[in-house]
Amino acid sequence: MIEPFLKWPGGKRWLVKKYGDIFPIGYKRYLEPFLGAGAVFFHLMPQAALLSDKNPDLVNLYMCLKRDADFIEKRLAQLQKMHCSAVYYRVRGREPKTPADRAVRFLYLNRTCFNGIYRVNFNGKFNVPMGSKTLVEFPIGYLRHIANQLRNASIKQGDFERTLAEARLGDFAFIDPPYTVMHNNNNFVKYNSSLFSWSDQIRLSLAIKAASGRGALIMLSNADHPSVRALYRGFGHHYQVTRSSVLSANASFRRHTTELLVANFAIPELSGSALAAKSACHAAD
């Protein structure tokens, strides 16, 4: 297991730490069409993988790390010595020309922006203010370790349908889309709906069911909401899992919330516990 190198809203560090034994073993290839910080990928460390995301800057970072982690490590060490408010906003305002320089900028901003949020304005410009964290660089050799694991992966930029269309018999796909529900009722979900609409959720459900029909193992993480449960009614096993809400910057205001896991295989580690879920036939209750 490798600790993910990115901070990412909606990331699954909590899932692999609390439920690290729920994933299948013995699959041929691992697929992840909403890569983000890749917590499950770095937890499983598969021998073969297809990783993708719609965010071109994120994908560029992974591809550059795979090719030249040492360059990125050296540049982050330089930025560590320079880091201050003026440097942060100067870097944020730049648009580097080379893929490697864009990767350094992306990772520097992720390390030092407020709460690791990735947000752009209507012009596609990153606009998150500087946060309180001052640690820019990683331990020596850590990014090279990341690069070694990425060598086992094919990394692509694009829509989830193209990635899931490649899922075949014996593959395992972990799918973690932005959490959008049919009737958005909180600001976090409303923000996600501009990135991933309910029609995208419907497209995703069809792609998942098609991949399952070709023999792929499927695990979906999604909002624990009646509309999502109804979308997967009759498909697989449904489980509720709990996590601490991280939407508040103040830990005293955080609470426990639930998320929905849908898998086309039984998960014994969840089925016998108090977190066990509702079966598929009761998914819309």
Per-domain residue ranges of the chain = 13-54+158-282, 61-146
CA trace torsion 25, 28, 32, 37 (10° rounding): 60
Provide the mean pLDDT of the chain.
Answer: 88
pLDDT of residue 260 exceeding 50, the answer is: yes
Q: Confidence band (pLDDT; 50, 70, 90) for 245? A: low
Q: What is the pLDDT of residue 254?
A: 52
Say what the pLDDT of residue 195 is. 74
CB contact at 8 A, 239 and 269: no
Band (pLDDT 50/70/90 cuts) for residue 223 is very high
- pLDDT, average across residues 191-216: 87
d(CA 114, CA 6): 13
Assess if CATH 3.30.360.10 describes domain 13-54+158-282.
no
Give pLDDT tens digits for 263-278: 999 998 887 543 344 4
What's the pLDDT at 181?
73
Band (199; pLDDT cuts 50, 70, 90): very high
For CA atoms 215, 220, 225, 228, the dihedral sign is negative
Span 194-219, mean pLDDT?
93
Specify whether the CB–CB gap between 31 and 163 falls below 8 A: yes
* pLDDT in the model for residue 28: 96
pLDDT value at residue 19 = 94
145-197 confidence digits (pLDDT tens): 999 999 999 999 999 999 999 999 999 999 999 987 765 544 444 444 457 88
Contacts of 30 (CB under 8 A, 6+ apart): 41, 44, 46, 48, 49, 50, 171, 172, 173, 174
Query: Which position has the token pair 């449960």?
Result: 229
Asked if CATH classification 1.10.1020.10 holds for the domain at 61-146, the reply, yes or no, is yes
The residue type found at 159 is: D
pLDDT at 255: 66
Model's pTM, two decimal places? 0.87
